Every structure is written in C-alpha cells, then in structure tokens.
C-alpha cells in the first residue's frame, strides 16, 4: 500500500507544481460549472431554504436543515442515504427551474438526476487528495455504473426520457436507456412507500364548502398546501379511490358527493324537524294562519292550516346538507384517496413519487369510484387509473357514479320546492280555487326538457366509450403520456388490446347497468320525504281540529302515503320517457316531444289525484286499498320484484379472480408479446 501511494506522488518539484496547478484548475473549473448550472436554475435556491451551492453538501450531511423535527423522525425510520438525498435535491432544483422559466418539462432532468449525481461523485472521488490515477484494470464503464445504479440505487422507479433522435443515439458512447422499461410495471412494483399513504374522509373533504375540490393542483398556493396537509391523515388502506377529472365542475362534484355521503344525515334531520313541528302545531304552540270549515259527511269542523310542516321540511334539507360534512363515519368508513390530498403537491419530488406509486394506491383501495362526467374518458390519466386498478386489484369493486343523476335529483327538488310554495300561497289566499294548484305542474315541462338533454349527453357518453380511441385521450404533458403508455403496453401487451378491453369488458361491466336508467333508492327516499312534509300539513290540521281517528287514518293513507307513491311513479315515468326519447338535435321536434311527455305526466297525476280523493271520501277501507295498490305498483316499478327473485334464486356461481376479463389470456396479447406496437399519439421519432 505504501509503495503504491509513493508511486502516485510527483518525483520532482516541477512535476509537483504542475500536478498541483492542474488539480487547482480542475477544481475551479468544476466549481464554476456547478455554480453556473445553479445560476441557470434561477430560484432553485428556495428549495434549499436560501442557502448557496457551497451549503449543498452541508445540507446532505445535516438533513435537519430541510426536515423538521417531526419529519426527522420519519427520516430516521427509513434511513435515507446521502446519495438519495442528493438526487432528491437535484430533482427539486430541476422542478423549480422549470417552474421559474415557465417553459419545458422537468421529466428529463429529473430522470437524469441519478446520472448527474453519479458522475459528480465520481469526479470528486478522482480529484480528491491522496487519490491515485486509475489503472486500466480499475476503469469501469460509465454505462455499466449507471445501469447498475439505475436499478439498485434509485429511490423509485423514475423512467428516463430519450429526447434525442435515432441518428444522434447511434453516435453516443454511452448505451442509451430503454424508455420506461416494462420491468418497472411488474406486479411486485405495484406497491407504495408507507410514508406516502395519506387519505381523507369524503365527508371531511366537503367541509368549508368543499374548498379542497375548488382549486386545481396547479393553482394551489402555500396556504392551500398547508390546509391539505392538515386535512390528511396517515392510513394503511383506502375505502375508496376517487377517480375524477379536474375539467369537471367542482360545484357539481361537491353536490354529488354531498348527496352520496350525507343522505342519512338529511333523513335524520327531516325526522327531527318534522316531529318537532308536528308536536308544536298540535299543542297550539305555533300560530295558525288560515282556518276554514271542513265537512266530510259524518264529521264537520274547523281545520286550521299552517305552513309549519313544509317550512320544517325545507329547513331540514338545508340543515342536513350543511351538517352532512360533519356527519360521523356511519355505517362504514369513507376514508378516500383524493389525488390533491393524498399526493404531496408542495414537494415536486414527493409529487413524482406519489404519481409513480399510483398502482400501489389502487392496490390498497377497496373500491374505485368513478365520478363519471363528459370529459372523463377523454383524459388519459383517468383511463390509466381504470387500467391500473384492474391490474393491481382484480377483485376490487368499480362503482360508476354518473354525476348527471345528482343533477336530475337537484332539478326535482327545485321543482318540488316551487310546488310547495305555490301550493301554500293558493290554499292560503285563494282557498276556493284549488284547481290553480296545477299551475305548479308547468315547471315540469322545463324539467322534462332538461332531463331529455341530460339523457342525450348520457347516450353520447356511451357511444364515445363504445368507440374509445386511446390516441384521442388527452394528457397535460408528453412525459406523463409516455409513462402511461408504457404501463398500458406492459400490462395489456399492446395499445390495441387495451382499446379492445375498454370497448368490450369495461363497457359491459360499467355501462350496461346504465342502459336502463334507475335512480338510486336513497334519492327516492329523499324526494319522497321532501314532498311528504307539505302533505302532512293536512294530517296535522285534522288532528288539531279534533277530527275522528278514522278520518285521520283515511287522510294519512290516501292523501299522504298513496299520493307520495303515485308522484314518485310519475317521476319514474318521466325518467323512463326522457331516457327513451332523449334529445335528437332537432329543436322543434325536441320541443314537441317534451310537450307530449308533459301531457302524459299531467294526465297521470290528475288520475292519481282523483283516485286518492275518491278513496279518502269513501272511508278507511278504500283508503287502505288505494295505499296497497300504490305500494304494489311502486314495488314493481322500482325493480323490487327483480331484486326479490335474484335473492331467492340459488346462486349459480361466484366471481373468482380467474373470471376477471383482464386476466383472461384470450382478451389480448400477453405482457411479453413481441408484437410491434407504435404509440397512437406519438410519432416514430418520439416513441
């Protein structure tokens, strides 16, 4: 060892001076180039907390300078290596430089941060004091070092972009990387660092008027980052993975998620408000407004009408919607993966780690909820999430939640609100002209027209999915596009196989239930309760006026229960006709079709009014028969018979992982297929 060391030293003073001068010049040149690179990165020093380039390795040796006390504990747990920290710093500098310049994409510099760190470290090692010149047998090919460290030292599977043309690659001395090697998408790679697992309750995400859903990730401020960090919690698994696009209206998503997660809260609120209003009205604690003389053959008396029940119904819905975000997680947890919360948006390197770990997030999710809107399947990330979920979680549940369902429910609630206000005004100030209450049916024409337009959009969505074309799916940048295409190619063998899978099994699994439109039962319950408040005013008025129990029961069965069921059937008829006769694109014809549907619905409602009025006037027996008839019709109309037969019939089999269409070898080429495949959205020079 001593002999080798002596052999590496200069033998004369001239050689020593020349040797030292060359070393000093080399160090100065390298420092100058390094500082020039940092200067080109502009505001990159902000990532290092305002420190200069000379403090870079001080930060590496002292991670506490960039990690807080709490984060330092996590750093100690995972034992972050200095090399990895240097690479993360370089990637952060690249991201900040791109954002400062407002041009380019950080994919290439981030992917090559590993190569830069290795070359810089090798240079420092060769230029260090007491280092001997490399012997021939000590020389290691740079390409081998990079290739080895690319698989062993990298903190995550960050694929590298190749932006040079084919002609330039032939002149390179370093072996080029394969863009997005398929090995990075293997099943063992469908995992995620436990430190990245952060989720949020769906109800909690709707607090503060759904602020989390209002701002796109690219528009977040430092205050928004802090709010998101405080709202999320560390989790082991996710109850639901929310797949959505930021191109969809945030208000629409907030409204839909509020109804989906808060309908139980609205029901409880309705019970509390209406029971309280009924008790206060019967006990004369609330003032009457319009008493009138009522004669029913075997009973006559004063009936005191007051709007307190319908006011209670309206308030119960307002309070229920406002409190829904604070409703406890009952009957099951709703811990969700929401991209803007579960993926760190403040640290660019952490953002990239979260994006590349998307398969791991999906593998740990019990179900995938797709907030379906018109631009959904035009976004490449949304399609990729669907593909990744079926790869990472073949037995997972996919829930397709079309947002237009909640739109239609909102339209119905607004119409019922108008009906209740008009009904009260007419009965209070013009009690003899009850026929004018049907003026409230005029807004149904607008509802029908809007419903037909919505169903027309639904059919267009189905047609687009049936003719799905991967090349038409848009993406925000080329780097993400290559990353997604590599995953699709690795999991499905080819782009054509994935396209056929979306058009076939995905279409059948997700869209077939939507071909025959059905409003979920929970929304029918909300609509029925909202309408019931106004009808219960007559029941409370009869009790307050001292009517016999038989009359009260007749009114309750015929004019409340039966009338509610017949009105729900009328709404079901509206949806059925609007779905079958959706928009054709011809203005005059569409108006005539909407008017024809309106006439049918009005005739149906008039018939139900006459039936329930006749039953109530002829005693308790006919009222009970009317309620029974309406119940049977509703049971059949809302799919009760089909559901009952499905439950009673013996199970013919159960779904197994091998039954999954994505695992069926006949669906397309295997992952290792050698079939040549050209990216549908990239040219040959780019792919």
Pick the most confident of 351-355, 481-485, 557-561.
Answer: 557-561
Residue 531 tokens, joined? 């309408």
Residue 50 pLDDT more than 60? no
Q: pLDDT-derived band of residue 106, with 50, 70 and 90 as boundaries? A: low
CB 437 within 8 A of CB 426: yes
Pick from 49-58, 489-498, 565-574: least confident: 49-58
Q: What pLDDT does 438 receive? A: 64
- DSSP 8-state secondary structure symbol assigned to residue 403: H
**How far is 646 from 142, CA to CA, in rounded Å?**
66
Q: Is the distance from CB of 291 to CB of 305 less than 8 angstroms?
A: yes
242 vs 24, more confident: 242
Residue 11 has pLDDT above 60, yes or no: no
Encoding tokens for residue 178?
């394969």
Q: What's the average model confidence in pLDDT over 211-221?
A: 83
The answer to whether residue 518 is domain-embedded is no
Number of structural domains the chain divides into: 1
Residue 389 CA to residue 512 CA, distance in Å, equals 20
pLDDT of residue 53: 38
Say what the pLDDT of residue 103 is: 55
Q: Determine, yes or no, domain membership for 543.
A: no
pLDDT at residue 14 in the model: 60
Tell me the C-alpha distance between 47 and 348, whole Å.
10
Phi-psi region of 234 (alpha: psi -120 to 50; beta: other; left: phi over 0): beta
Worst-scoring range by mean pLDDT, 29-33, 316-320, 580-584? Answer: 29-33
Check pLDDT > 80 for residue 419.
yes
Determine the distance from the C-alpha atom of residue 308 to the mean position of all C-alpha atoms in its chain, rounded to a whole number.
39
Own/partner pairs for 63-72, CB < 8 Å, 24+ apart? Answer: none
pLDDT at residue 138 is higher than 70? no
Average pLDDT over residues 72-95: 54
| Paired tokens of 31 | 């420092």
- Residue by residue, DSSP assigns 43-112 as GGGGGGTT--GGGHHHHHH-GGGTS-HHHHHHHHHHT--HHHHHHHHHHHHHHHHHHHHT-S-THHHHHT
**Strand 290-295 to 335-337 pairing:** unpaired
3-state secondary structure of 241: strand
263 — pLDDT class (breaks 50, 70, 90)? very high
Report whether pLDDT(30) > 70.
no
For 293, phi and psi rounded to 5 degrees?
A: -80, 130
Section 645-658 average pLDDT: 51
* 508 located within any domain: no
Token pair in block for residue 159 = 């694929």
In a domain, 230, yes or no: no
Q: What is the mean pLDDT of the chain?
A: 72
Domain of 170, in residue numbers: 2-179
Is the pLDDT at 583 greater than 80, yes or no?
Answer: no
3-class SS at 545? coil
In a domain, 39, yes or no: yes
3-state secondary structure 248-283: CCHHHHHHHHHHHHHHHHHHHHHHHHHHHHHHHHHC
Higher pLDDT residue, 571 or 357?
571
| Res. 17: pLDDT tops 80 | no
Q: How many CB atoms lie within 10 A of CB 381?
A: 20
Q: How deeply is 629 buried, as exposed, middle or buried, from its count of CB atoms within 10 A (0-12, 13-18, 19+)?
A: middle
Q: What is the pLDDT of residue 384?
A: 81
pLDDT at position 182: 43
Any domain includes 95: yes
- Over residues 47-57, mean pLDDT: 39
- 27: pLDDT strictly greater than 80: no
Tell me which of 4-18, 503-517, 646-660 is least confident.
Answer: 646-660
Question: CA-to-CA distance for 438 and 181, rounded, in angstroms?
Answer: 68
Task: State the pLDDT at residue 631.
Answer: 92
Return the minimum-mean-pLDDT range out of 176-190, 285-299, 634-648.
176-190
Asked if residues 234 and 198 have their Cβ atoms less than 8 Å apart, the reply is yes
| Percent of residues, the chain, with pLDDT higher than 90 | 19
Instruction: Evaluate if residue 299 carries a pLDDT over 60.
Output: yes
Compute, in degrees rounded to 10, the torsion defined by CA atoms 372, 216, 92, 489: 20
* 362 pLDDT higher than 70: yes
**Which pLDDT value is given to residue 61?**
43
- Per DSSP, the chain holds a count of helices (H) and strands (E) of 29, 8
Supply the pLDDT for residue 188.
34
Give the residue, 149 or 422, on which the prediction is more confident. 422
- Residues 526-544, mean pLDDT to the nearest whole number: 91
Residue 535 has pLDDT above 70, yes or no: yes
Within 10 angstroms of residue 584's Cβ, the number of other Cβ atoms is: 11
Residues 336, 238 contacting (CB under 8 angstroms): yes
Q: Is 687 exposed, middle or buried (0-12, 13-18, 19+ CB in 10 A)?
A: middle
Looking at residue 115, its pLDDT comes to 55
pLDDT at 177 over 70: no
User: Taking a C-beta distance cutoff of 8 angstroms, is the pair 468, 377 a contact?
Assistant: yes
In a domain, 34, yes or no: yes
Locate the DSSP E strands across 604-647. none
Q: How many angstroms separate the CA atoms of 314 and 477, rounded?
A: 47
3-state secondary structure 422-489: HHHHHHHHCCCCHHHHHHHHCHHHHHHHHHHHHHHHHHHHHHHHHCCCHHHCECCCHHHHHHHHHHHH
pLDDT band at 71 (very low <50, low <70, confident <90, very high): very low
pLDDT, residue 19, reads 63
Is position 542 within any domain? no
Residue range 448-498, pLDDT digits in tens:
888 888 888 788 777 777 888 888 888 777 767 877 888 788 778 888 888
- For residue 181, the model assigns a pLDDT of 40
For position 46, what pLDDT does the model report?
Answer: 35
683, pLDDT greater than 60? no
Q: How far apart are alpha carbons 476 and 381 in whole angstroms?
A: 9
């Amino acid at each position: 060892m001593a002999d080798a060391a002596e052999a590496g030293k200069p033998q004369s003073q001239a050689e020593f001076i020349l040797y030292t001068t060359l070393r000093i010049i080399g160090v100065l040149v390298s420092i100058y180039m390094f500082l020039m690179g940092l200067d080109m990165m502009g505001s990159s020093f902000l990532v290092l907390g305002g420190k200069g380039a000379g403090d870079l390795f001080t930060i590496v040796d002292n991670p506490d300078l960039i990690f807080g006390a709490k984060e330092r504990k996590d750093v100690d747990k995972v034992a972050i290596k200095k090399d990895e920290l240097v690479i993360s710093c370089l990637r952060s500098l690249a991201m900040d430089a791109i954002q400062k310049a407002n041009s380019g994409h950080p994919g290439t510099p981030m992917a090559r941060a590993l190569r830069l760190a290795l070359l810089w470290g090798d240079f420092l090692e060769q230029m260090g004091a007491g280092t001997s010149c490399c012997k021939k047998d000590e020389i290691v090919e740079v390409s081998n070092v990079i290739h080895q460290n690319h698989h062993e030292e990298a903190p995550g599977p960050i694929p590298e972009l190749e932006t040079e043309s084919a002609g330039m690659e032939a002149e390179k001395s370093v072996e080029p990387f394969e863009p997005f090697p398929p090995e990075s998408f293997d099943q063992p790679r469908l995992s995620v660092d436990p430190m990245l697992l952060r989720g949020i309750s769906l109800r909690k995400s709707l607090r503060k008027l759904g602020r989390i859903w209002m701002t796109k990730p690219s528009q977040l401020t430092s205050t928004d980052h802090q709010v998101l960090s405080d709202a999320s919690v560390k989790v082991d698994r996710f109850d639901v993975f929310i797949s959505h696009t930021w191109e969809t209206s945030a208000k629409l998503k907030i409204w839909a998620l509020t109804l989906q997660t808060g309908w139980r809260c609205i029901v409880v609120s309705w019970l509390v408000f209406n029971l309280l209003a009924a008790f206060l009205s019967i006990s004369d604690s609330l003032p009457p407004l319009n008493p009138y003389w009522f004669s029913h053959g075997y009973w006559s008396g004063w009936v005191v009408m007051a709007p307190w029940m319908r006011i209670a119904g309206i308030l119960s819905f307002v309070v229920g919607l406002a409190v829904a975000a604070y409703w406890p997680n009952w009957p099951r947890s709703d811990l969700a993966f929401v991209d803007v919360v579960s993926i760190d948006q403040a640290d660019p390197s952490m953002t990239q780690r979260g994006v590349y770990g998307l398969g791991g997030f999906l593998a740990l999710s019990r179900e995938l909820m797709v907030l379906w809107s018109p631009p959904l399947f035009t976004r490449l990330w949304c399609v990729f999430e669907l593909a990744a979920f079926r790869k990472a979680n073949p037995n997972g549940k996919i829930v397709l939640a079309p947002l237009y369902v909640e739109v239609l429910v909102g339209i119905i609630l607004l119409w019922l609100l108008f009906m209740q206000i008009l009904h009260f005004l007419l009965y209070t100030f013009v009690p003899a002209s009850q026929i004018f209450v049907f003026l409230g049916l005029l807004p149904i024409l607008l509802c029908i027209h809007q419903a037909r337009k919505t169903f027309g959009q639904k059919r267009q969505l189905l047609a687009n999915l049936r003719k799905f074309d991967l090349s038409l799916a848009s993406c925000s940048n080329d780097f993400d596009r290559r990353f997604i295409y590599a995953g699709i190619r690795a999991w499905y063998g080819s782009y054509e196989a994935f396209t056929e899978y979306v058009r076939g099994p995905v279409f059948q699994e997700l869209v077939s239930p939507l071909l025959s439109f059905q409003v979920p039962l929970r929304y029918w319950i909300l609509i029925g309760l909202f309408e019931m408040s106004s009808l219960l005013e007559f029941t409370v008025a009869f009790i307050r006026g001292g009517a016999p129990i038989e009359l009260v029961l007749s009114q309750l069965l015929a004019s409340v229960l039966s009338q509610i069921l017949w009105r729900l059937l009328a709404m079901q008829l509206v949806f059925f006709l609007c779905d079958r006769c959706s928009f054709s694109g011809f203005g005059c014809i569409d108006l005539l079709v909407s008017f024809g549907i309106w006439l049918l619905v009005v005739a149906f409602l008039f018939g139900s009014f006459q039936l329930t009025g006749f039953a109530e006037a002829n005693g308790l027996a006919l009222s009970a028969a009317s309620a029974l008839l309406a119940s049977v019709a509703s049971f059949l109309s809302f799919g009760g018979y089909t559901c009952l037969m499905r439950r009673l019939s013996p199970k013919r089999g159960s779904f197994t992982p091998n039954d999954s269409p994505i695992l069926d070898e006949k669906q397309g080429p295997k992952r290792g297929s050698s079939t040549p495949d050209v990216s549908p959205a990239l040219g040959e020079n780019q792919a």
